[in-house]
């Protein structure tokens, strides 16, 4: 029997691929909603795999095996559902962080975090707000896909910005992702 977290992770990945297909105008909002409901209703990995194979667009089914634990650094996992969460200080322990925000607000304050490892923050937000605060000496590479949502950046790195860099990826569905300096 598959664990809930593995099934949940694969559902989220598949829904994210659907959101990207919607953002590229490959499917309509109605089709996106119908497919999302079918994916969320899958009770196990086998059902999810069968659902993915029946999709009318090329969405790869999730792999049937979990990668070796050392192959991927999962990093920090921040989950905010129907609430408000603020992280500050030196809270990123590894190189990666994943932020799931559903009908809530999450603030990721990286101003007091050691950014020597060029962290990667993956954001998945559904009807929420994610604010990422950066020191003025940090550059950001962002490829967050808004779907009926918005991404914004206020301010910019200082002219003498150092080598610190943060990579942001993910999807904002009916959400707002804000990057703020200072």
| DSSP helix/strand/coil, 13 | helix
pLDDT, one tens digit per residue, over 72-91 is 456 788 899 999 999 988 88
Cβ-count burial of 61 within 10 angstroms (0-12 exposed, 13-18 middle, 19+ buried)? middle
d(CA 117, CA 115): 6
Q: How far is CA 175 from the centre of its chain?
A: 12
pTM of the model: 0.59
Max Cα–Cα distance, the chain, nearest Å: 54
The whole-number average pLDDT for the span 9-20 is: 80
117 contacts: CB under 8 Å, gap ≥ 6: 94, 95
Is the pLDDT assigned to residue 93 strictly greater than 60? yes
Is the pLDDT assigned to residue 161 strictly greater than 50? yes
- CB-based burial, 2-12: b 16+ in 10 Å, e otherwise: eeeeebebbbb
Confidence of residue 169 (pLDDT cuts 50, 70, 90): very high
pLDDT of residue 74: 60
pLDDT of residue 160: 66
The whole-number average pLDDT for the span 110-132 is: 87
pLDDT of residue 58: 56
For the chain, give every domain's residue range.
4-53, 76-181
Is the pLDDT assigned to residue 68 strictly greater than 70? no
Q: In whole numbers, what is the pLDDT of the chain averaged over residues?
A: 80
d(CA 91, CA 59): 34
d(CA 89, CA 50): 44
d(CA 104, CA 80): 6
Pick the closest to residue 108 from 162, 170, 161, 158 (CA basis): 170
């Amino acid at each position: 029997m598959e664990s809930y977290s593995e099934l949940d992770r694969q559902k989220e990945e598949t829904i994210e691929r659907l959101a990207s297909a919607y953002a590229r105008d490959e499917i309509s909002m109605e089709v996106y909603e119908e497919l999302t409901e079918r994916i969320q209703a899958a009770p196990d990995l086998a059902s999810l795999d069968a659902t993915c194979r029946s999709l009318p667009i090329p969405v790869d089914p999730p792999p049937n095996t979990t990668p070796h634990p050392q192959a991927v650094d999962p990093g920090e996992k921040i989950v905010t559902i129907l609430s408000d969460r603020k992280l500050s200080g030196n809270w990123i322990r590894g190189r990666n962080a994943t932020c799931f925000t559903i009908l809530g607000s999450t603030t990721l304050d990286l101003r007091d975090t050691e950014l020597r490892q060029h962290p990667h923050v993956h954001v998945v937000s559904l009807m929420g707000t994610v604010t990422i605060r950066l020191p003025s000496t940090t550059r950001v590479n962002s490829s967050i896909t808004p779907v009926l949502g918005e991404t914004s950046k206020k301010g910019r790195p200082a002219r003498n910005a150092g080598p610190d860099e943060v990579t942001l990826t993910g999807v904002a569905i009916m959400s707002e992702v804000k990057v703020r300096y200072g």
